């Protein structure tokens, strides 16, 4: 491998810093993935066994890209076993499987998603005779997750006064339910291994000796538990290599703490700090604008992105009378770009809130512009996918009451709500015909369980669909029914990659909140998404709509700390663009049924005027109010 020709000087310096703690401050589009993978290659070339190297990141997509790049064009590496390259949650799951007995777990357990976690919290709230409105299950689950991510013990939450005492009771009952049904939620996958290492010196030493070189991607997105896990694993050999950028820290609401980047320098005073500033994505015009905006934040590690890519087009500012004309203007520009031979998949419309997509969608539909909403209803959250996965989960884990409740009458088999209440209440005696319905259902599950032991996952899924009559159930002659069946076929296709159902369930369970799975071909469609969903992506042309005070920055994020995150969000949005960037705002906008007038976003005033060009509006006959950005 020759790093001389493929890396710039700073990238090369980072790759060759193979010993001791290293912090790489990597700007947007600066080639951080390349640096991590080239460093892993160099370590193995220098004789480090691959099993002593790990690299963790936050999405399966990022992990997959790292794996592919690690082995590409290097036949020598293919002879070895690959290092562990995966998400934090995949690493946690591996450690939990290897230490199941120490963690009080049986050999088999089920990883439940956020929706199922909230259901268990709701059950806990109701069983405690609490007001479901006052103690909203989603809010309670979010608070429990927050405590877990901060490594807070259950007893400690009771110190938070009356609310803390109630939350503690809900949490205890929630944990009791998960344990009884052999469930783990997503937070457990990090919390339990981290606590094990904190409490068991022998296990800690085992993993420290096993993994001598630790790589952490997107370090600014780590929470307290992830930070502690990586710190513990690397404490003995101190070969920890982290890549992060405070300027792209936009997930505080998910528990991420960008201050971990600053703490790294305190934890390792001798750390080598390398800044990657050369950008390979955007034009110099876009980068000058990005630098001008983000420099207004106080909490950051200084850097200044630059590029050799000279831009010819200024950033276009589009001012509309209302959100409908804003959307029409975006549609008009998309058609113009398509005529200019920019493919639809290279265009993205970004918005701060999901509610903004409605006007955009209507305009695109009226002009026959195909689009896809990225990060809307995720693939594994779709009804038909959750139904089939519930069958698989119940077959694998007979204690799984959530899955049993979901599919008891799916497809319909005469077990309505009244009978279901009797079954799970276990107090009211069943009538003979009711007992028969339950016995038939249990016989179906027993048959599926027996079949699962004899067939590969894709064969089993096809059998389950046929045996349950699920295809007839969802194919109702409508277009939606057809879409549902196509999703089922996609799930079956995905399962071909796995040898057994346990492995298959692990694969689908590890798709985190950061992952966006898009099975359909989006090559001919414009991308619509929130700015949060756009992180890690890039497009030739980007439209950022709704550049107004109260919308972006959001009205709930105007204090000093939150405002800095909103500015980082703006920085992320504009650095998604390669060559064309459009920023739009409306004089008046309907939000939640109320028509309001907002001032232009303060972020617009932070762009240097010489980089901007005011775009003629659609329709071109004018009549728009004058809005001055001072």
375 contacts 516 by C-beta, under 8 angstroms? yes
* pLDDT value of position 436: 92
Residue 218 among the catalytic residues: yes
Q: What is the pLDDT of residues 382-418, one digit of tens each?
A: 899 999 999 999 999 999 999 999 999 999 999 888 8
Query: Per-residue pLDDT averaged across 244-254, rounded?
Result: 93
482 closest CA partner among 490, 474, 491: 474
Q: What is the pLDDT of residues 172-223, one digit of tens each?
A: 999 999 999 999 999 999 999 999 999 999 999 999 999 999 999 999 999 9
- List the catalytic residue out of 113, 116, 188, 218: 218
- List the catalytic residue out of 33, 329, 468, 575: 33
What's the gap between Cα 191 and its chain centre?
Answer: 18
* pLDDT value of position 8: 95
Beta bridge partner(s), residue 278 = 306
What's the gap between Cα 404 and its chain centre?
Answer: 28
Query: Per-residue pLDDT averaged across 247-264, rounded?
Result: 93
Percent of the chain with pLDDT over 70: 93
Among left, alpha and beta (phi > 0; psi -120 to 50; other), residue 250 is alpha
* pLDDT value of position 79: 53
Q: For residue 624, what pLDDT band results from cuts at 50, 70 and 90? A: very low
Query: Per-residue pLDDT averaged across 277-289, rounded?
Result: 97
- List the catalytic residue out of 576, 578, 589, 602: 576
Positions of E strands within 454-576: 526-530, 539-544
* pLDDT value of position 3: 46
Integer Cα distance of 508 and 503 in angstroms: 9
Strands 347-351 and 539-544: parallel
Query: Per-residue pLDDT averaged across 258-267, rounded?
Result: 93
- List the catalytic residue out of 32, 39, 141, 484: 32
- For 198, counting Cβ atoms within 10 Å of its Cβ (0-12 exposed, 13-18 middle, 19+ buried), the class is middle
226 closest CA partner among 271, 258, 268: 258
167 contacts 140 by C-beta, under 8 angstroms? yes
* pLDDT value of position 513: 55
Distances 152 to 164, 198, 235, 282, 349 between C-alpha atoms, Å: 12, 13, 22, 42, 39
Q: What is the pLDDT of residues 140-174, one digit of tens each?
A: 999 999 999 999 988 887 777 788 899 999 999 99
Tally the C-alpha atoms within 13 A of residue 506's C-alpha that lie toward its C-beta.
20
**HEC per residue, 270-331:** CCEEEEECECCCCCHHHHHHHHHHHCCCCCCCCCCCECCCCCCCCEEEEEECCHHHHHHHHH
Residue 272 among the catalytic residues: no
* pLDDT value of position 375: 76
Residue 32 among the catalytic residues: yes
Q: What is the pLDDT of residues 2-18, one digit of tens each?
A: 444 589 999 999 999 99
- List the catalytic residue out of 38, 185, 188, 217: 217
| DSSP sequence for 110-158 | EE--HHHHHHHHHHHHHHTT--TTTT-HHHHHHHHHHHHHTT--GGGGG
Q: What is the pLDDT of residues 32-52, one digit of tens each?
A: 999 999 999 999 999 999 999
Beta bridge partner(s), residue 600 = 548
Whether the pLDDT of residue 521 is over 80: the answer is: no
pTM: 0.89
Residue 154 among the catalytic residues: no
Q: For residue 26, what pLDDT band results from cuts at 50, 70 and 90? A: very high
How many other CB atoms sit within 10 Å of the CB of residue 71? 15
What residues contact residue 599 under an 8 Å CB cut-off, 6+ apart?
A: 548, 549
How many other CB atoms sit within 10 Å of the CB of residue 8? 15
Give alpha helix (H) positions in 18-104.
32-45, 60-71, 75-78, 88-98
Query: Per-residue pLDDT averaged across 511-539, rounded?
Result: 78
Least confident of 96-110, 195-209, 384-398, 586-600: 586-600
Residue 217 among the catalytic residues: yes
Query: Is the N-terminal amide bond of 619 cis, ω within 30° of 0?
Result: yes
221 contacts 120 by C-beta, under 8 angstroms? no
Residue 499 among the catalytic residues: no
Residue length of the chain: 630
- List the catalytic residue out of 110, 181, 194, 248: 248
Percent of the chain with pLDDT over 90: 75
* pLDDT value of position 233: 98
């Amino acid at each position: 491998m020759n790093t001389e020709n493929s890396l710039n000087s700073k990238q090369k310096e980072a790759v060759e810093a193979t010993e001791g703690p290293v912090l790489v401050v990597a700007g947007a589009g600066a080639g951080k993935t390349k640096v991590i993978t080239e460093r892993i290659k160099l370590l193995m070339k220098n004789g480090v066994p691959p099993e002593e190297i790990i690299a963790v990141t936050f999405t399966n997509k990022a992990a997959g890209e790292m794996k592919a790049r690690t082995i590409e064009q290097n036949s020598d590496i293919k002879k070895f076993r690959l290092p562990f390259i995966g998400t934090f949650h995949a690493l946690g799951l591996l450690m939990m499987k290897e230490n199941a007995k120490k963690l009080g777990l049986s050999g088999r357990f089920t990883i439940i998603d956020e929706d199922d976690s909230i259901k268990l919290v709701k059950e806990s709230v109701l069983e405690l005779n609490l007001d479901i409105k006052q103690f909203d299950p989603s809010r309670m689950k979010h608070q429990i997750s927050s405590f877990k991510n901060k490594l807070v013990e259950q007893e400690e939450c009771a110190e938070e006064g009356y609310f803390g005492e109630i939350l503690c009771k809900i949490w205890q009952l929630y944990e009791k339910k998960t344990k009884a049904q052999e469930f783990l939620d997503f937070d457990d996958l990090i919390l339990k291994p981290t606590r094990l290492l904190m409490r068991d010196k022998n296990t800690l030493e085992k993993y420290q000796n096993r993994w001598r070189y630790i790589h952490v991607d997107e370090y600014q997105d780590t929470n307290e538990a992830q930070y502690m896990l990586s710190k513990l694993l690397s404490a003995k050999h101190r070969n920890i290599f982290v890549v992060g950028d405070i300027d792209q820290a936009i997930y505080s609401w998910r528990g991420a703490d960008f201050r971990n980047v600053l703490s790294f320098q305190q934890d390792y005073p001798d750390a080598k700090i390398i800044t990657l500033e050369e950008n390979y994505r955007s034009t110099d015009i876009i980068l000058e604008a990005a630098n001008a905006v983000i420099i207004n934040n106080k909490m950051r590690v200084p850097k200044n992105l630059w590029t050799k890519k000279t831009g010819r087009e200024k950033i276009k500012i589009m001012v509309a009378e209302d959100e409908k004309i804003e959307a029409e203007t975006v549609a008009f520009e998309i058609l113009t770009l398509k005529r200019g031979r920019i493919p639809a998949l290279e265009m993205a419309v970004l918005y701060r809130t999901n509610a903004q997509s409605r006007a955009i969608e209507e305009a695109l539909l009226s002009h026959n512009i195909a689009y896809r909403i990225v990060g809307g209803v995720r693939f594994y959250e779709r009804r038909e996918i959750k139904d089939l996965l519930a069958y698989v989960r119940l077959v694998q884990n007979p204690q799984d009451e959530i899955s049993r409740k979901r599919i008891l009458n799916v497809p319909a088999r005469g077990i309505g709500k009244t009978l279901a209440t009797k079954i799970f209440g276990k107090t009211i005696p069943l009538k003979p015909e009711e007992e028969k319905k339950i016995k038939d259902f249990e016989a179906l599950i027993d048959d599926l369980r027996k079949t699962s032991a004899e067939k590969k996952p894709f064969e089993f899924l096809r059998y389950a669909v046929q045996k349950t009559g699920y295809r007839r159930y969802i194919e109702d002659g409508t277009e939606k029914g057809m879409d549902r069946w196509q999703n089922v076929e996609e799930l079956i296709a995905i399962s071909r990659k796995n040898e057994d159902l346990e492995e298959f369930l692990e694969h689908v369970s590890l798709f985190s909140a950061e992952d966006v799975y898009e099975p359909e071909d989006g090559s001919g469609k414009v991308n619509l998404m929130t700015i949060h969903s756009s992180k890690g992506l890039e497009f030739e042309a980007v439209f950022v709509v709704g550049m107004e005070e109260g919308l972006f920055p959001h009205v709930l994020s105007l204090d000093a700390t939150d405002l800095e995150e909103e500015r980082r969000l703006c920085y992320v949005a504009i650095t998604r663009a390669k060559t064309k960037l459009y920023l739009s705002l409306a004089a008046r906008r309907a939000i939640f049924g109320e028509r309001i007038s907002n001032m232009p976003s303060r972020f617009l005033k932070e762009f240097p005027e010489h980089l901007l060009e005011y775009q003629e509006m659609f329709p071109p006959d004018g009549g728009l109010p004058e809005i001055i950005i001072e």
